[in-house]
Amino acid sequence: MSTKKEKKSFGSELIYNNPVFGLYLGICSALAITTSINNAIGMGVAVIVVLTMSNIVISLIAPITPDEIHIPVYIVIIASLVTIVGMLMQAFTPQLYSALGAFIDLIVVNCIILGRAEAYAQSHNVAESAKDGLMMGLSYTLSILAMSFIRELLGKGTISFTNPLTNTEVFNLQIIPEKFVIPLFTTQTGAFITFAVLAAFVTWFKYTNDEKAEKIKAEALQKEKEAQHA
């Protein structure tokens, strides 16, 4: 029984509470940096670290933070964590840091980070807040990875990955011949099209699952009534 609950919770975080395609948060970075899988992984890891650590710190200090100043305090904490992550990326993965540019610094004002601090971390314990940060960060990362995969495949015809620490190419697969690629997907227009298609798919998936759940519930109630009358 406990395994089923965990699976349901995992699916709920990744699909029903998907920050990009379900809650429409963090869209700016999702549209801007999803031109390659490398960018998506770099931004995703940065968001996971900042989101998880900020949730933990905010959960710890929330009880002693006055309501009147809690938002500025949370922003200072998030900004400090982003600065540390940015400095580490600049030191160890300079090419990736340059590719992501200002969007690393803009994690400070990413709606997902402050939104989870306000909606969850300040009213839950450390373990629950850490789990929430990790799950939301993972959900965001999978979302931008999906966008990057589609845009890179259709726009360049390739799927590639470079080790950000050594700058050595791990793989570079030419899946679609160059004459059949659609360069539109490397532009911002392609980013909007990819986002719209994936958001529509997630909405359809949620609607279909909810319909099935309602149907099963209705059938169970009907059987219960029939059993009572029998």
Write the pLDDT tens digit of every residue in 13-27. 577 788 899 888 889
Q: Residue 215 is part of which domain span?
A: 2-229
Q: How many CB atoms are located within 10 Å of the residue 129 CB?
A: 25
Q: What amino acid occupies position 209?
A: N
Please compute the mean of the pLDDT values over residues 31-40 and round it to a whole number: 91
pLDDT digits (tens, 9 = 90+) for 49-58: 999 999 999 9
169-192: pLDDT as tens digits? 888 999 999 999 999 999 999 999
Strand partners, 160: 172
| Residue 11's pLDDT band (cuts 50, 70, 90) | low
Q: Dmax over Cα atoms in the chain, in whole Å?
A: 74
Domain count, the chain: 1
The mean pLDDT value for 75-101 works out to 90
pLDDT score, position 114: 86
* Arithmetic mean of pLDDT over the chain: 87
The pTM is what?
A: 0.85
For the cut 90, the answer to whether the pLDDT of residue 196 exceeds it is yes
Per-residue model confidence (pLDDT) at position 2: 40
